Amino acid sequence: MTGRLGIFVTMLVCATGAGCDVVAPSCRDETGGVFAIDAQVPAGGVATYTVTSPKSSNLVMRLTWPETAATLGFSATITDCGGHTGCMMITAMPPFGPGGSSPAPQPWPPGLREMVVDGWQGKAYRVEITGDPNRDTPFALNVTYRITCER
């Protein structure tokens, strides 16, 4: 009788979602918009924006510009840790390239840079777009949050 009772209790616990994720998963993949702007950075100038993460997630920061002959700089510096105790006020920049299956690192295509930063809820970044030294350049900056659950 004890064996059947143990099986019954285990099934009951799993059915209520208390630890087996049958009824109520503990994590859901989620994405959403955080910040978006279409603007222009003057030649040799800097455009600066503040972006604050609405949830504990990763922030995907994507900078695009149509004038592919122009070269823009892109960085994000933590200005407020939000609820993330012990974080440091570091500056992130996009990696050399997007990666991929090539054995040699590939550079970003002209007119595109992207980076992923830690977006702990309430963490704020100062995002800077540095202009091409020779021309005013229109750009689009889109920031989204992304929560990806481990499987």
Q: Report the pLDDT value the prediction gives residue 20, as an integer from 0 to 100.
A: 43
Give the residue among 137, 25, 14, 126 at the shortest CA–CA distance from 70: 137
Q: How far apart are CA 8 and CA 134, in angstroms?
A: 74
26-81 pLDDT, tens per residue?
A: 788 999 999 999 999 999 999 999 999 999 999 999 999 999 999 999 999 999 99
- Contact, 91 vs 115, CB < 8 A? no
Residue ranges of the domains in the chain?
Answer: 27-97+108-147
Residue partners of 30: CB distance under 8 A and separation at least 6 = 55, 57, 145, 146, 147
Amino acid 5: pLDDT? 47
Render pLDDT for 104-119 as a digit per residue (tens, 0 to 9).
778 899 999 999 999 8
Q: Tokens 């202009």, residue?
A: 131
**Topology of the domain covering 27-97+108-147:** Jelly Rolls (2.60.120)
pTM of the shown model:
0.79
Please give the pLDDT value at position 45: 98
